[in-house]
Amino acid sequence: MTLAFPVAVLLSVPITAYMQAGKGFRQFLVYSALLRLAAMVAMLFAKTPVQYIALIFLFYLPEAILGPTINYILAANYSDGIRGMRFGIANSVLYFSGLMTALCAGKILDVNQEFFRQIYFVVGALGAAGGIALALIPASQKAEPWQNPITKTIQILKQNREFRLFELNFFIYGIGFLLLTPVIPLYLVDVMKMSYTEISYARGFIGSLGLIAFSPFAGRIHDRLNPFDSSAKVFALISLFPILLFVGMFAGKQFVFLAYIVYSFAMAGISIVWNLGTIHFAARGEEISLQAIHLTLTGVRGIFAPLFGFLAMNFAGYWAPFLLSFLMFGISAILMAKASKKIAPVAPRYYP
């Protein structure tokens, strides 16, 4: 199930290429909405773990086009000077509603864990409604014509030097982030001996507070800085996260809670950069292609990085993935800061 999202976004480049060969993104958003609804309706009848995982994958599959399409819509409707803040406000609403929904879902599952089927059905209906709502948003600019996805990707990475550098540095950060995904749950339960209530409070409540409160401010910062500069700052901040988790092994649970305070504020900025950073490097109408490459590279590191972290933990102990993560975050922050000094200034784009 952990691999469902990486595998889905790994297909972003070919799926978006096929989308561009068709009549446009709107029909694909409607198809995605129907696919998500169908997957969660089928969840009502799922009987085996294999069926469950297959349906989760089908629900994640539209992510391959949602990110690129949202970037395209944002670039078409919001000027560079306001886009980040508007997206940050939307992020705050997203994470607040997600937190409230998760708490409600947890209460429902405490009553009867078999109610997960009905919860997923509601998720599917809301996911479908969201996809259709996106399809109704106007986007006046024209997307690029279809090209062979492999040839197009190679061409973009060869010709767009700044985008290539941004993706390389982001790839390093992403490895550091993803190698912790299989490690942290085991660490919190087996080493820190935290209860599920404590874990939910740290990862769910505290881990969302900064995202809810800081996202509009992070978006405003992103509007004023180039993506290399804003990435360098948030990558440096999140490098404290694995260190504080590790210190918690010796100093107590309070450092785990402190780690998640740092995490929540850092992720507010990272969420903005991850979603909007590629727009800076895109020619008008090219946003879909660049974000599709960004998502596909996310899928690539999502395939091997968690396994890398798990093996490091098993062969060397918990200190190894925490140290590796810190180094990856630190290296990516330094490289982003260096690139920021060399990036050519780009005139802001203002769309009607």
**Residue 238, domain CATH:** 1.20.1250.20
In a domain, 182, yes or no: yes
Tens of pLDDT, residues 98-145: 888 877 887 888 788 888 899 999 999 998 999 899 888 877 655 556
Do residues 55 and 43 make contact, with C-beta atoms less than 8 angstroms apart? yes
CA distance 295 to 12: 6
Q: How many domains does the chain have?
A: 1
In a domain, 351, yes or no: no
What is the arithmetic mean of pLDDT over 188-201?
A: 82
In a domain, 33, yes or no: yes
Residue 301: HSE in the Cβ half-sphere, 13 Å Cα cutoff: 22
CA distance 315 to 37: 42
Distance from CA of residue 115 to its chain's centroid? 27
* Residue 242's pLDDT band (cuts 50, 70, 90): very high
In a domain, 27, yes or no: yes
In a domain, 349, yes or no: no
Residue 71 pLDDT exceeds 70? yes
In a domain, 296, yes or no: yes
In a domain, 14, yes or no: yes
List C-alpha distances in Å: 196 to 103, 201, 231, 246: 13, 8, 32, 19
- Residue 348's pLDDT is 46
Do residues 270 and 284 make contact, with C-beta atoms less than 8 angstroms apart? no
Do residues 303 and 271 make contact, with C-beta atoms less than 8 angstroms apart? no
Contacts of the segment 33-39: beta carbons below 8 A, 24+ positions apart: 33/62, 33/127, 33/128, 33/129, 33/130, 33/131, 33/132, 33/135, 34/128, 35/61, 35/62, 36/62, 36/124, 36/127, 36/128, 36/131, 37/124, 37/125, 37/127, 37/128, 38/124, 39/124
- Residue 36's pLDDT is 92
Domain that holds residue 164: 4-136+150-342
- Residue 24's pLDDT is 66
Do residues 288 and 16 make contact, with C-beta atoms less than 8 angstroms apart? yes
In a domain, 292, yes or no: yes
Residue 239 pLDDT exceeds 80? yes
Distance from CA of residue 119 to its chain's centroid? 23
Give 145's DSSP letter: P
Written as one letter, the residue type at 286 is E
